[in-house]
Amino acid sequence: MSDETANPLLELVGIRAGYGTIDVLHGVDLRVMPGQVYALLGPNGAGKTTTLGVASGQIQPHAGSVLLDGHEVNGVSPDRLARAGVCLIPEGRGIFPNLTVAENLRMSTYAGVSYKQVQERAFAQFPRLQERRNQMAGTLSGGEQQMLAMSRALSTDPAILMLDELSMGLAPIIVEELYEQVASLAEAGLSILIVEQFAQAVLGVANEAAIMLHGRIQRTGPPAEIAEELTAAYLGMS
């Protein structure tokens, strides 16, 4: 439950955005409070990834505003937002395949944490990455690649973390492991915006959830309530 008097860390107000002339988001309002884990759920094509694109500066909205800690950040480039602490782990292995594991980690240092520290933290969380530090990231297994992608979130002290379909295409046991990391980040007080198509894993971590359908948020509420409505929403009976 969010405290109404606190300022939201991330706020989207009336966002309309899309690709070319086609609008995908038709007025999205969303608030992530400090320390909140916000799960954005919805079927394929609902506009979840586009929402993250807008929040991270990759997509410029046609209308509406993006507020980060109360400051409007419309038009700020994604790299500047990244250096300011917005950490988006994109869908489908956010890694550089032709760079080694260590070089991938070096790319995480733009947010201000030193290379040494990034390595220490990442290897502490995922010892397997240390064994493969000089291996090309593209040759890692799917789970290892997702760990490498996640290690940026774990090692760079972001202000807000956005995760896009963390579980996609991974074995359940690895998904479980990754969500344990998310849970510990949440416990440490990090604000997280998670996008998922399938809800089981994420609803255990989230303390606020929303259903997105056809480019707008249909319902927000506590995860338990949302879980009940999810099936109906996916079947178009919302």
Among 34, 64, 90, 204, binds other proteins (CB under 8 A): 90
Q: Distance between CA 68 and CA 60 in Å, rounded?
A: 15
- Structure letter (DSSP) for residue 6: S
Site string for other proteins, 60-79 (x = CB under 8 A): -----------------xxx
Q: Which stretch binds other proteins (CB under 8 A): 33-41, 105-113, 194-202, 219-227?
A: 105-113
Contact 83, 112 (CB under 8 A): yes
Q: How far apart are CA 221 and CA 215, in angstroms?
A: 18
Could you tell me the strand order of the sheet in which 37-41 lies? 86-89, 160-164, 191-196, 37-41, 208-213, 216-221
Minimum Å gap between C-beta 71 and other proteins is 18
104 versus 167: smaller Cβ distance to other proteins: 104
**Residues 127-166: x/- map of binding to other proteins (CB under 8 A)?**
-----------x-------------x--------------
Contact by Cβ (8 Å): 111, 161: no
Binding segment toward other proteins, per CB under 8 A, in 39-47, 90-98, 171-179, 221-229: 90-98
Of residues 162-191, those binding other proteins (CB under 8 A): none
User: Rounded to 5 degrees, what are φ and ψ at 190?
Assistant: -75, 140
27 is an interface residue for other proteins by CB under 8 A: yes
Cβ 203 to other proteins shortest distance, Å: 26
Burial class (CB in 10 A: 0-12, 13-18, 19+), 80: exposed
Q: How many residues bind other proteins (CB under 8 A)?
A: 31
Interface region with other proteins, contact rule CB under 8 A, candidates 18-26, 34-42, 64-72, 200-208: 18-26
Question: Could you give the 3-state DSSP secondary structure of residue 56?
Answer: coil
Residue in 61, 94, 143, 223 binding other proteins, rule: CB under 8 A: 94
Rounded CA-CA distance 24/109 in Å is 33
End-to-end CA distance of the chain: 23
Q: By the criterion CB under 8 A, which residues form the site for other proteins? A: 21-23, 26-27, 56, 58, 77-79, 82-83, 87-88, 90, 94-99, 103, 106-111, 115, 138, 152
